[in-house]
Amino acid sequence: PLFVAGSTHEGEEEQIADVHIDLKKNFDDLLTIIAPRHPERVPAVETVLNKKGLKFIKRSAAKRDGCKDAEIIILDTIGELAKVYNAASVVFIGGSLVSNGGHNALEPSSLGKAVLFGPHMENFREIATLLTDNNGAIQVREKDELTKTLTNLLSDKNAMAKMGNAGKLIYEQNR
């Protein structure tokens, strides 16, 4: 399974790392990709992951160094988030567990991905409401609920696919 946390902000990567640690208890082959919203924050993300004792690699070094031992990839390149979303099993929209207003959930929805986001979607309130009201996304309140929801989805591929299909339909109907 591939869990992608896209457009994350300061304060979220530590929570995502904790979620990853908890998920690994049930999904030992889990790979997580963290894509910081601002690439200049990559060193701060590395510090967080080092403190948690997690094995990670930056995307820019993955081809050169290989990534078979990494459990987390930091997306430190520009222009690849859509490709990463397309490969994901489930996507978390950053800027939403911390008070940053969230980011647009339509990109992963348009790809038929199960989408989760936190309570702070103020900048995309209409989209968030449309997706959650029509079963195309789930809004969580905090990291423990994110872990529980991810566990449920990763354990039920049909539920993941159903949510992804609902999100894609919403995207198509409102394009």
String of b and e for 131-167 (b: at least 16 CB within 10 Å)?
bbeeebbbbbeebeebbebbbebbeeeeebeebbebb
Q: What pLDDT is attached to residue 68?
A: 75
Q: What pLDDT is attached to residue 64?
A: 65
Q: What pLDDT is attached to residue 67?
A: 72
CA count, 13 A, side-chain hemisphere, 123: 14
Q: What pLDDT is attached to residue 84?
A: 97
Backbone angles phi, psi at 65, to 5 degrees: -100, -10
Q: What pLDDT is attached to residue 63?
A: 72
Question: What does pLDDT average to in each consecutive run of 10 residues of the chain (175 residues)?
Answer: 98 98 97 97 98 95 76 95 97 98 97 98 98 98 98 98 98 93
Q: What pLDDT is attached to residue 110?
A: 98
